[in-house]
Structure 1
Amino acid sequence: MEFRHLRYFLVLAEELHFGRAAQRLAITQPPLSLNIQQLEASVGAQLFTRSSKAVQLTAAGRAFVPQARGLLDQAQQAARHARDVSQGLAGSLQVGFAGTMLYRGLPQLLKRFQARHPKLRLTLRELSSSDQLIELAQERLDLGFVHTTRVPPGLSQILVARQPFVACLPAGHPLARRRTLSLHQLQGEPFAVVSRAVSADYHERILALCTEAGFAPEIRSELRHWLSVVSLVSQGLGVALVPAALRQSALPGAAFVPLDAATGVYETYCLWKTARDHAAMGAFLDAVRSAAKRLQSPHAD
């Protein structure tokens, strides 16, 4: 049974006349008759009665009409979906992200992208940068937003955003109301940091910044998420250096004070497997590049 057989059957079922049906199908009557015979042989039942005066559907033919129509509709839907996927208009993407991206443009990027690509399904997974690298290598993620400069071979990247570190202090801390402060003023304070296992780059970056300021930080807490670092500081259990975007977390009890000297930047990259063949990824990467231009502009937060 072929889809051509179903289409011919449905036209003949509507016309009940071989001449008119053949005309609609832009074929001659002999091919139409042959295709109907082939369909009946495939189904194993007579679908039409034929006489010199009329063509009528049999009981089996009447029962077959809705089934044939449903099969053709499904085939057409499947073809449309396949075309949309091949053109990047439909399908799904698995997107990983580090938590700070929630305060650095990711929600806005996703809203704009979904409005323009309603047939594309995005699945989000919050993961550490190191976990995202593993998932990307295993192709369990299509793209990831990470905070690491240690990009393995085989991955492509877009620099999405860069931002300074700021001091995060308990709201009641003596330095919390300063307009700026020097990093060496935090010497002797208990530090909260992101665990080395979660983000080795930035764990080491913070240690290096403190060393450059003339002291070794007294690390009391190592956590898996930046937001956990801010939450702990808000409870008066330490101080921290955090990406500036976390000011938007607005956690009660936490104060954010800019540093008075350049301390390097916290960079966000979008990574994907270079050899990954996924049409929808091209559309998403275009959206990422547009977002990156906005986030790296001089007026971006």
Structure 2
Amino acid sequence: MEFRHLRCFTILAEELHFGRAAQRLAMTQPPLSLNIQQLEASVGARLFERNSRGVSLTAAGEAFLPKAVALLEQAAQAAREARDVGEGLAGQLQIGFAGTVLYRGLPQMLRDFAAAHPRLRLVLRELSSAEQLADLVRDRLDLGFVHTTRVPAGFSQILVSSQPFVACLPANHARAKSKTLTLESLRDDPFAIVMRAVSPDYHDRILAACADVGFEPALGYELRHWLSVVSVIAQGLGVGLVPAALQQAGLPGVVFVPLARPLLPYDTHCLWRTERDQSALGAFLATVRGAAKPVHHSALTFKGEKP
């Protein structure tokens, strides 16, 4: 039994006339009759009665018709879905993100993409940069939004945004009303910081910045999330250096003060396997490029990225 047999059967069942059915099928009557005979042989029952009065369905044909129609519809739906996936119009993407990206354009990217591609499902997973890198290498993620320069071979990246580090202080801190402050002025305060296992680049960068001005910070709290760092500081339990975007979190009890001597910026990159063959991925990357901060357009393409 082949789909062409089912197509011939359903059209003949609608027309109950070999001539009209053959015309709709763009064939002559003899091959139509042959297809019906082959189908009946495959089914093991007569599906049509043929006599001088015309053509009619047998009881077996009546029972077979809805199943044949359903099979053809399922095949057409499967073909449509495969075509849509191939063209990047359907399917799903597994996307990793570090929490601060929620304040650096990710929600708008998701809204824009959903509006343009309603049949593409985005599965979002909040992971540290280190966790994302591990999952990207194992192909458990299609792309990730990471805060690291430690990019494995075979991956491409887009610089999505760049932001300064600022001092985060309890609202009642002695320097909370300063317009700027030096890092040295915090040497006697306990620091809250992201764990090295979660964000090794920025953990090490903060410690190195302190070492550059002559002190080793007392690490009172090492936490998994930047928001947790800000929350601890809001309780008056320490100070920290955090990405400026965290000001948008609106947590009470903290202030953010620019540094008199800025550190290297906190960069967000979109990262994916260069040779990954997936149309949906290309569609999402187009949205990412469109949302990347204009000030960084000259630096969007990195070695290994396809134009």
Q: Normalised by the size of structure 2, how large is the TM-score?
A: 0.94
Cα deviation per residue 1:237-275 (whole Å; 9 max; x = unaligned)?
Answer: 100000000001111111111112221100111111122
Write out aligned runs for 1:116-155 (5 A).
Answer: 116-155=116-155
Structure 1 stretch displaced more, 236-245 or 34-43: 34-43
Partner of 2:173: 173
Cα deviation per residue 1:264-295 (whole Å; 9 max; x = unaligned)?
Answer: 10011111112221111101111111111347
Partner of 2:12: 12
Report the Cα distance in structure 1 between the residues aligned to 2:256 and 2:159, rounded to whole angstroms: 25
Cα deviation per residue 1:166-209 (whole Å; 9 max; x = unaligned)?
Answer: 01111111111222212111111100000111111000100111
Look up the equivalent residue of 2:200 and give its one-letter code: A
Structure 1 stretch displaced more, 231-240 or 181-190: 181-190
Contact kept, 8 Å, 1:50 with 1:56, in 2: the verdict is yes
Partner of 1:258: 258
Write out aligned runs for 1:185-204 (5 A).
Answer: 185-204=185-204
Contact kept, 8 Å, 2:90 with 2:280, in 1: the verdict is yes
Partner of 1:59: 59
Distance 1:80 1:295, change over 3 A: farther
**Matched residue SS, 2:164:** strand
Report the Cα distance in structure 2 between the residues aligned to 1:96 and 1:229, rounded to whole angstroms: 21
Partner of 1:280: 280
Partner of 1:214: 214
**Matched residue SS, 2:108:** helix
**Matched residue SS, 1:94:** strand
Structure 1 stretch displaced more, 177-186 or 288-297: 288-297
Write out aligned runs for 1:21-170 (5 A).
Answer: 21-170=21-170
Contact kept, 8 Å, 1:160 with 1:289, in 2: the verdict is yes
Report the Cα distance in structure 2 between the residues aligned to 1:65 and 1:199, rounded to whole angstroms: 62
Q: Pairwise CA RMSD of aligned residues?
A: 1.2
Report the Cα distance in structure 1 between the residues aligned to 2:196 and 2:121, rounded to whole angstroms: 33
- Work out the percentage of aligned pairs sharing the same amino acid: 68
- How far apart are 1:296 and its partner, in Å? 4.0
Contact kept, 8 Å, 1:194 with 1:229, in 2: the verdict is yes
Contact kept, 8 Å, 1:160 with 1:295, in 2: the verdict is no
Distance 1:224 1:178, change over 3 A: same
Cα deviation per residue 1:67-123 (whole Å; 9 max; x = unaligned)?
Answer: 111111111111111111111111110000001111111111111111100010100
Report the Cα distance in structure 2 between the residues aligned to 1:206 and 1:11, rounded to whole angstroms: 73
Report the Cα distance in structure 2 between the residues aligned to 1:213 and 1:43, rounded to whole angstroms: 86
Distance 1:101 1:25, change over 3 A: same
**Matched residue SS, 2:121:** strand
- Say how many residue pairs are matched: 297
Report the Cα distance in structure 2 between the residues aligned to 1:173 and 1:52, rounded to whole angstroms: 101
Partner of 1:290: 290
Structure 1 stretch displaced more, 253-262 or 159-168: 253-262
Contact kept, 8 Å, 2:159 with 2:296, in 1: the verdict is no
Distance 1:76 1:237, change over 3 A: same
- How far apart are 1:134 and its partner, in Å? 0.6
Unaligned runs of 5+ in 2: 298-307
Q: Normalised by the size of structure 1, how large is the TM-score?
A: 0.96
Contact kept, 8 Å, 1:105 with 1:295, in 2: the verdict is no
Distance 1:253 1:295, change over 3 A: farther
